Every structure is written in C-alpha cells, then in structure tokens.
Structure 1
Amino acid sequence: MTDDLIETQTPARRITDPAEALAALERAVPGLLHHRRSEPAVLDWPLVEEGLGTALPADYKDLAQWYPAFTLGNYLLVGLPGPGEELQLLRDTHSTLEVLVDAWLEPELGLQAHPVVGGLLPWAESDESDKFMWSTAGASPQEWRVTVAGRGGAWWHYEGGAVQFLAELCDGTLEPWGLRVVGPEVTVW
C-alpha cells in the first residue's frame, strides 16, 4: 500500500484494552449507556470469523456484545450483529466488499480489499456512503488501524481501533477530514 499518499491521524495514546475503549465511547456518547445490554450478548464469533477468513478486533466484538447496532449523529451507521444475526453480518460485509472492489478502491493508492493480506475490511458506513474499514495488516487484529474512505474522495488512516475512533470522532479529538462532524446523538436500530 502506498501510505505516503494517504494522511494519517494518530491518537495521543492507542487504547488496547477493549473495556477501556468502550468506556471512552460511553463518555463521548453518554446516551449510548441507555442502550447497554444488562448482560453481554452471546454471539457466534467463530461463525463470523470463519466466514470472513480472519479473527476480528476485540474492541469491536466487545462493543457488539454490549450494544445493538446504532447510528451516531444521524450520520454514522455502526452495524453490529445481534444474537442470531451473524449470517446477516457476513452477507452485508461481503456485499460491501463487492462495492469496494467495483467502485471505491483507487489503484493509484495501492488499496485492496480483504481477503488480500492487509486488505480493507468494512465495519461501518455513513448515510452519505462514507466507508469505515480496518486495514488488516499486523500480527493480530488488535494492531489493525482504521481506514476512512470519504464519499468526496478523501482517504485517510487512524492509528487506533474502531471503538477508540468512534469515541474520538464524537468527542472532537479527531479531525473529521472530509466527513461531517459527528455529534453524540445515538439512535439504536
């Protein structure tokens, strides 16, 4: 990948503990707590990960176990599986990967879609079709960074996990380069 063509934002400190990342998101989006499950959902992660051909980051799995799918700021759609919805998540992810390959990936940037090693794997999108993905390079999914593809053509990286990205996007720590400003309003699906 030609990283010198894509700008990168780096958090002051990368949060590696899933519970700490989730707590940061709950502080940034206080209304999210009203939708937290009383017990973590039991999800068939082996089914999802086998269907994707890769393990997923622990912070994302933790978020999905505690929360249903939601929208932030009437803009950013975080599609999380609920119990029994794992196959739908796989179908949606594969569909989005097809769209990435057909219409989004820019050859001059050297970007490729998953399952290519280091390829992009989508985890959220906006109501304006902005894409939020993991760059799947690294020894483990906990090392993956977020890659953003703005509908207007802006591509950029964030050197942190998905949940920390959401927290910092909502609390204003992160520059929204090419995206709408995302407020802390939350709507569950």
Structure 2
Amino acid sequence: MDWERADAAVGTRLPTDYKEYVRWFGPGDFDAYLIVCVPGVENSEAEPAARFAREYQEARLLKVDQPQGESTRPPGARAGWMVALGFTTGGDGLYRAMSGADPDRWTVAGQPGRGSDFRYFDGSITAFLHVFLWDTVEMPFIPEAECDPPVPFEPDTGEWRAG
C-alpha cells in the first residue's frame, strides 16, 4: 500500500490504526452489512478518496459549523471536516471527524442514510470495530447483528458493489 499516495488523495495523513486495519484485513465486509473503505480498490463506493470527492460533489460532506460563504470545494481535508471511513448497506455513512492535527486522536462519526444528524463514537476505528464485532455499538441507526457475536468479516476484492 502506498500510504503517501493515499494520504495525498484525501488531503491528510490517515490514522495509524486505520492503516493497520487495511494491512491486516483489506477490502471486505462485516456480516454483509458494514464496509470499511480501503484505498486503491477498483470500486468507487469503497475507495476513500473517490467516496470523499463524490460526497463533496453531492454536498453531503459539509464542514461542521461551516462559515457562511465558505467554499464547499474540497481544498484537502482539515479540522472540522469528515473523512469517509465506511458505510453500511443501509446507506449509513461512517467518517473520521477531523478534530485536530493528530489523525490518531480523531473520533468516529456516523450519519444515518435518512438523516442529517451525526452520532459520535469517542474512539478510534479499531475501537469502533471492536464494539461493532461484539454487537455493543451505540448508534441508533445500526441494528443488532443477525448473527451471534463476534460479527464475521468476509474478505473481498472490493469489486462487488456498484461504483
């Protein structure tokens, strides 16, 4: 994985634990429901830079507390912006909330597919995935798992979704 290229594509250094996740797991899904975006996959739905750019274009990814008149053009990620992290098959979005200069301290934010309010998880992506795997995540739009914990991971090439 060329992390310098991946970091440049989203305009910021990506968190260390996310890079470790990608190293160990790569593309795939959890219980055919939760997909974590992975740089370099062919599928634009699961490729973070492509998803990041598309969400800007669709005006879904707005700056938190965006001053009036500020451009919504992506100048590169910066504090107050959200970086696409993953999504659910139900249309919910998962993001890293850029809350400072150190990406390793960013929190996870979730947005329901049919809503605009964000819910926050005060922890890293791996901490979030840990509670998701054990079916204890507390985001109201993420339903209980249909299987017994831990929720299984299914590796994939990333080509299986439209995008």
> TM-score interval w.r.t. the shorter chain?
0.7 to 0.9
Mapping for residues 35-74 of structure 1, pairs under 5 Å? 43-74=1-32
- Cα separation, 2, equivalents of 1:120 and 1:151: 16
Which structure has more helix as a fraction of its residues?
A: 1
Task: Give TM-score scaled by structure 1 length.
Answer: 0.64
| C-alpha RMSD of matched pairs (Å) | 2.8
Amino acid in the other structure paired with 1:115: A
Tell me how far apart the structure 2 counterparts of residues 83 and 76 of structure 1 sit (CA, whole Å): 16
Aligned residues: 141
CA contact (8 A) 1:68 1:82 kept: no
Larger RCO, structure (CA 8 Å, separation 6 or more): 1
8 A Cα contact 1:44 1:83, kept in partner: no
Equivalent residue number for residue 141 of structure 2: 178
CA distance, structure 2, for counterparts of residue 169 and residue 125 of structure 1? 13
Given candidates 99, 104, 116, the residue that maps to 1:137 is 99
Residues 70-103 of structure 1: CA distance to partner in whole angstroms, max 9, x if unpaired?
1112211112236999xx543333223433x2x4
Q: Which amino acid aligns with 1:110?
A: D
Unaligned runs of 5+ in 2: 67-71, 157-163
- Structure 1 portions without partners, runs of 5+: 1-42
Superposition TM-score, scaled by structure 2 size: 0.73
Alpha-carbon distance between aligned partners in 2 of 1:122 and 1:89, rounded to the nearest angstrom: 6
2-side partners of 1:45 and 1:81: how far apart?
Answer: 9
Matched to 2:32, the amino acid is N
